[in-house]
Amino acid sequence: MGGGRPGSEEVREASWIRVVEIRDKHLKRLLQFLLDEGESEVIVLALEVKASLVLLDDREARLQAKRLGLRVTGTLGVLLRAKKLGLIKSLRDELNKLKETGFRISKSLEEEILNAAGES
């Protein structure tokens, strides 16, 4: 599971995370015409467990999830909420850490999210 990637060891050792097999393999295959395997499984699982929120960053995955009636947020939405709740001190610092791992964000979106966090 994410071998060698930042945070992969923490995820593997977290007792509150469990691997769940999806049931609807047909829907997964259909979604894979548009999305990666992981994004397809996330959407199928969210539908199967009737998730109140699904975390997706890919634009097309977010669009497909919304079309299927799912409520969606992304990494930036989670970080903005954490900033507003006082769980992180600097959204800018967290964005810089993310970008160091290869996370891509447009300059305009970065400015928008920093503005929303009061860090413009």
pTM score: 0.82
Residue 1 confidence (pLDDT): 53
44-70 pLDDT tens trace? 999 999 999 999 999 999 999 999 999
Helix axes of 37-48 and 59-67: crossing angle, nearest 10 degrees: 30
Residue 3 confidence (pLDDT): 65
72-105 pLDDT tens trace? 999 999 999 999 999 999 999 999 999 998 899 9
Residue 70 confidence (pLDDT): 98
Residue 61 confidence (pLDDT): 97
How crowded is the C-beta side of 9, counted as CA atoms within 13 Å?
2
Residue 35 CA to residue 42 CA, distance in Å, equals 11
* Mean pLDDT, all residues of the chain: 93
18-42 pLDDT tens trace? 889 999 999 999 999 999 999 999 9
